[in-house]
């Protein structure tokens, strides 16, 4: 399948003692992405860490410094959020951006929940539901379903019974970040778009009747492929349902010898975790792809899941320097994208 949309994902690291420069660096990288002709820029979400904790606020700023590039979150963990309030923030940023926001979300308890629950939910910690119903509520509010039993005029103020502002196209640009068959099926059944990354749950593919295939355990690409096909099989748009893949790619076409050595060492230290499922959740990790654009393109064309999609949001490594990201993004735009069949726009 020919690559149609080229995007990238960044975590937006900063110094806790001086957070301003790190946030500014992330905004500059998004601006660079637009100049290079990328179709989308995505921001990770990190709470109580030295990465972007409020991507929606950051993307509001990015919306005023760009005009074309789509802006996404990959992903907002809804365990930290009130769906109604989040719907208001998302709709506001979508209006400010001119309809360019692509919110990605996920479910599950917040990380280190036992340590943070008293601060996050002091009165309701044991009653909170961190399942898919939280996504359903958000979808309803974003799509304009009723949020209040009252609307009309009271005194000098007018009230709406739905989330305002309402951005009509936002509901079709909601993404679910999933790494399991269950998540893929749920996202499809609820007409969301699907974000699949470099992490999946080690599980067997569904058989023709929906049950697990009793065959041998597939490799990472085969697992990811099964998620994509399960998602589309349950989505009302079928094969036209949107899927974006987010592998870590590090092209070295214009890298200095020092950068190449550092990139290769980074990938080497992370490679052992790709050999077998990790932890109780049996998570499988894809290897980082380091090399020339031609080498990376060859490996991607051999990747079973990549052959099934036409959108990517390549993940930038967490701990690299600003100048590294500039080099990597430039090589992706100038060399890797064309090698994958996606030409750099003439307006870039």
Q: Which long-range contacts link 253-258 to residues 24+ away (Cβ below 8 Å)?
A: 253/292, 253/293, 253/331, 253/334, 253/335, 254/327, 254/330, 254/331, 255/327, 255/331
CA of 47: how far to CAs of 91, 113, 213, in Å?
22, 12, 37
* pLDDT by position in tens, the chain (length 348): 789 999 999 999 999 999 999 999 999 999 999 999 999 999 999 999 999 999 999 999 999 999 999 999 999 999 999 999 999 999 999 999 999 999 999 999 999 999 999 999 999 999 999 999 999 999 999 999 999 999 999 999 999 999 999 999 999 999 999 999 999 999 999 999 999 999 999 987 654 433 344 454 459 999 999 999 999 999 999 999 999 999 999 999 999 999 999 999 999 999 999 999 999 999 999 999 999 999 999 999 999 999 999 999 999 999 999 999 999 999 999 999 999 999 877 766
Q: In this structure, are residues 75 and 177 in contact, taking their beta carbons and an 8 Å threshold?
A: yes
pLDDT of residue 208: 43
Tokens 């748009």 locate to 237
Query: Which domains does the chain show, CATH number per domain?
Result: 5-339 (3.20.20.30)
Q: What angle do CA 91, 181, 284 make, to 5 degrees?
A: 100
CA dihedral 259, 342, 235, 164 (to 10 degrees): 80
């Amino acid at each position: 399948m020919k690559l149609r949309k080229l995007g990238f994902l960044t975590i937006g690291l900063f110094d806790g003692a001086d957070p301003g420069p790190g946030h500014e660096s992330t905004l500059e990288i998004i601006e660079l992405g637009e100049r290079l002709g990328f179709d989308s820029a995505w921001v990770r979400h990190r709470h109580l860490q030295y990465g972007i904790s409020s991507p929606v606020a950051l993307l509001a700023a990015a919306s005023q410094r760009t005009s074309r590039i789509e802006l996404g979150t990959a992903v907002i963990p809804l365990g930290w959020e009130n769906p109604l309030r989040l719907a208001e923030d998302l709709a506001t940023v979508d209006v400010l951006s001119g309809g360019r926001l692509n919110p990605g979300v996920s479910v599950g308890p917040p990380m280190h929940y036992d340590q943070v629950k008293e601060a996050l939910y002091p009165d309701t910690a044991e009653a909170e539901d961190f399942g898919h119903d939280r996504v359903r509520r958000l979808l309803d509010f974003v799509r304009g379903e009723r949020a209040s039993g009252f609307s009309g005029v009271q005194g000098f103020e007018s009230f709406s019974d739905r989330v305002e502002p309402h951005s009509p196209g936002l509901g079709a640009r909601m993404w679910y970040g999933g790494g399991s068959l269950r998540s893929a099926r749920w996202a499809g059944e609820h007409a969301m778009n699907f974000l699949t990354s470099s992490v999946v749950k080690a599980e067997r593919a569904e058989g023709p009747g929906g049950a697990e295939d009793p065959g041998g355990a597939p490799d990472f690409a085969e697992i990811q492929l099964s998620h994509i096909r399960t998602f589309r099989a349950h989505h009302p748009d079928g094969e036209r349902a949107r899927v974006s893949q987010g592998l870590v790619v590090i092209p070295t076409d214009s890298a200095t010898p020092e950068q190449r050595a550092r990139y290769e060492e980074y990938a080497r230290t992370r490679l052992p975790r790709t050999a077998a499922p990790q932890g109780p959740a049996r998570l499988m990790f894809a290897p980082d792809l380091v090399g020339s654009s031609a080498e990376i393109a060859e490996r991607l064309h051999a990747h079973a899941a990549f052959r099934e999609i036409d959108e990517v949001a390549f993940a930038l490594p967490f701990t690299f320097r600003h100048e590294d990201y500039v080099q990597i993004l430039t090589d992706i735009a100038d060399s890797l994208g064309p090698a994958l069949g996606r030409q750099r726009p003439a307006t870039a």
